[in-house]
Amino acid sequence: MKMIRLRIDGKLVVAPEGTTILNAALKAGIYIPHLCYMEMKEVGYKNDCASCRICVVQVKGMSRLVPSCTTPIKEKMEVITNSPEVMHKRRVVLELMLSDHPKDCLICGKNGECELQKLAISFGIREMRFEGKEGRYDKQYSIAITRDTTKCIMCRRCETMCENIQGCGILTGVDRGFNVIVNTAFNRNLLETDCTFCGQCVAVCPVGALYETDNTFRLVEDLMNPNKKVIVQVAPAVRVAIGELFGVEPGIDMTPKLVTALRKLGFDAVFDTNFAADVTIIEEATELKERVLSKLKGEKGVKLPLFTSCCPAWIRFVELNYPELRDNLSSTKSPQQIFGAISKEFWTREKEIERKDLICVSIMPCTAKKYEASREEFAIDGIPDVDYSITTRELGRLFKQYNIDLLEMQDEEFDSPLGESTGAADIFGRTGGVLEAAIRTLYEWLSDGKLEDLDYVNLRGFQEVRVAEIEVTGIKLRVAVVHGLGAARKLIEDIKSGKEYFDAIEVMACKGGCVGGSGQPYHHGNFEIVKKRAEGLQDIDYRKELRESNENESVMKLYDRYIGEANNEVAHRLLHTHYFDRKNHK
Ligand code: FES
């Protein structure tokens, strides 16, 4: 690779040919403010439409200022990032941007986390010199994502994510000239579009144009209600990310302090979604085993590959785009919904409380989980299994409101028995984890032996698609892991055209899996943060004494006492679900 030598603010910088001025400067520790630009090389995300012009710099010999995010470096180039001309231009650009931006920061969904707000602070903007015309759009609420198009700054990050990475194309530039805005076609509510609620648009939006639909008020009301028991379940990806909201490095396991903080907030019992993840594996591995054995017997019509079903955005993607593949989806509910079903059916029985008096809340790294909890099939007589879900960010905000400093908490353990889990459940939160957990258990069941090496490293990492061939007592399985819905679409097309064959496929909608979910603390394009969270979960798995779901004694007791065999009638009533053809949003 040819290396280029240039000077930025007088400092000698060496970077590979093709690097932009912005990236060369950032790498050399020279900060250039930028807004529309965002890149996560590891997962192929790049938004470089150069629409904001905040990143302009001066290049010696060039008559005009240039956007550093799209201008490649050249040999002997001399760049100045902070001349009076550059600073004036940036300030004017920012003032113009603010001139037609709503000034209701105090009640904005991204207040305190808005990149535009941070720029206004750093530039010391105190007055509005220009008067712009604000475009006015009504706020649009959906169960998972709220859109405030009036706040859109046309950076197009969401559009790039939705179209290029997720392959959904729901958000796009509409209208012309001054009125152009990123919106849905015909300004439809997201629920009336093919939106999967993955929320990756929320994860990259720099301002308050897209944010999660807030459920914290509802939770506060429930916690105050003396007639309700309010319990909580915590997803694996939350524990390695919530610390970031309190200044802790990404990937640090905050479980013991988080449990205490949740008790302090007022929950009657604090449980672990991981318990339900172990149950998921018992059911899903049974499904896979039965289908693989049926295929080996030569039975006709066996639906393979079996796709995992834990990710609600992926499920909605299939229902909207590939309803013909519904029977290939594992019918096992997601851990969130299994937990809800078990707690409302059995925990209520043990505690002698009525189903209607139990509120089950989930803390999730994801906006699509809000949508999943609201699906009609997950309710009995109008009472949902999971009443509602709140994101990692919402929980962090609540802790701060209540003066609960996570770092100051004592260490405590989850309540029993719905708080016990194995390492297999922890890795559910990262790409490749669900399939790896299923294979650990499946191996034991097929071989009747103990698996010596539990680490399927071929399934790990962040490559878009990872493929592994696994052999158990002569049975060969070809499996794949894919993250990102656009990549899943490509893989499905390859399978449909006969180019590829697999027995099992894990799909997670978000890059990196749930650790990169839309409800997590904002990573602002730094994928290293997502990687560290994934490593954190892997570390918890390594540290656990039990690392296979079939070793979870509390789960096995649940089967002995209430369910019986996996995949039987009781299991199907409680732990399995069905899917719909949602083409044309039926
Ligand atoms: Fe370069 Fe927006 S960050 S033009």
pTM of the model: 0.95
Q: What is the pLDDT of residues 35-46, one digit of tens each?
A: 999 999 999 999
The atom number, within ligand 1, closest to the CA of 37 reads: 3
CATH placement of domain 115-212: 3.30.70.20
Question: pLDDT-derived band of residue 1, with 50, 70 and 90 as boundaries?
Answer: confident
In terms of DSSP H, where are the helices of 266-330? 273-296, 312-321
- Helical pair 115-122 and 84-99, crossing angle rounded to 10 deg: 130
User: What pLDDT, on a 0 to 100 scale, did the predictor assign at position 457?
Assistant: 81
Domain 3-99 has CATH 3.10.20.740: yes
Distance CA 253, CA 272 (A): 14
Higher-pLDDT residue of 29, 452: 29
Per-residue pLDDT at 136 exceeds 90: no
Per-residue pLDDT at 271 exceeds 70: yes
Q: In what order do the strands lie in the sheet with 11-16?
A: 11-16, 3-8, 78-80, 56-59, 66-67
Ligand 1 site residues (CB inside 6 A) read 34-37, 50-55, 67, 69
Distance CA 392, CA 36 (A): 25
Question: 3-99 with 115-212: one CATH topology?
Answer: no
Distance in angstroms between the alpha carbons of the first and the last residue of the chain: 53
Q: Do 457 and 304 contact (CB within 8 A), yes or no?
A: no
Distance CA 58, CA 71 (A): 11
* Distance (Å) from CA 23 to ligand 1 centroid: 12
The four Cα atoms 174, 509, 322, 210 give a dihedral, to 10 degrees, of -30
Q: Which fold has domain 289-331+425-517+541-575?
A: Fe-only Hydrogenase (Larger Subunit); Chain L, domain 3 (3.40.950)
- Average pLDDT for 82-102: 95
* Distance (Å) from CA 248 to ligand 1 centroid: 30
Category of 240 on φ-ψ map: left (φ > 0), alpha (ψ -120 to 50) or beta: alpha
Distance CA 433, CA 541 (A): 10
Q: Do 362 and 235 contact (CB within 8 A), yes or no?
A: yes
Higher-pLDDT residue of 48, 417: 48
Distance CA 136, CA 133 (A): 9
The atom number, within ligand 1, closest to the CA of 50 reads: 4
Distance CA 26, CA 538 (A): 30
- Average pLDDT for 251-261: 98
The per-residue pLDDT of the chain, averaged, comes to 94
3-state secondary structure at position 292: helix
> What phi and psi, each to the nearest 5 degrees, are found at residue 336?
-55, -50
Residue from 336, 191, 317 nearest 579 by CA: 317
3-state secondary structure at position 2: coil
User: What pLDDT, on a 0 to 100 scale, did the predictor assign at position 586?
Assistant: 53
Per-residue pLDDT at 2 exceeds 90: yes
Question: How much of the chain exceeds pLDDT 90, in percent?
Answer: 87
Distance CA 40, CA 444 (A): 38
Per-residue pLDDT at 15 exceeds 90: yes
Q: Where are the domains of the chain?
A: 3-99, 115-212, 289-331+425-517+541-575
Distance CA 488, CA 35 (A): 29
Q: Could you say which DSSP state residue 71 is in?
A: P
* Distance (Å) from CA 69 to ligand 1 centroid: 6
Per-residue pLDDT at 574 exceeds 80: yes
Per-residue pLDDT at 449 exceeds 80: no
Would you name the residues annotated as active-site residues?
284, 287, 310, 330, 369, 372, 377, 514
Give the torsion sign (CA, 431, 548, 280, 369): negative
Q: What is the pLDDT of residues 452-478, one digit of tens each?
A: 777 888 889 999 999 999 888 888 999
Listed range (403-407, 418-422, 505-509, 557-561) with the worst mean pLDDT: 418-422
The atom number, within ligand 1, closest to the CA of 70 reads: 1
Distance CA 15, CA 33 (A): 20
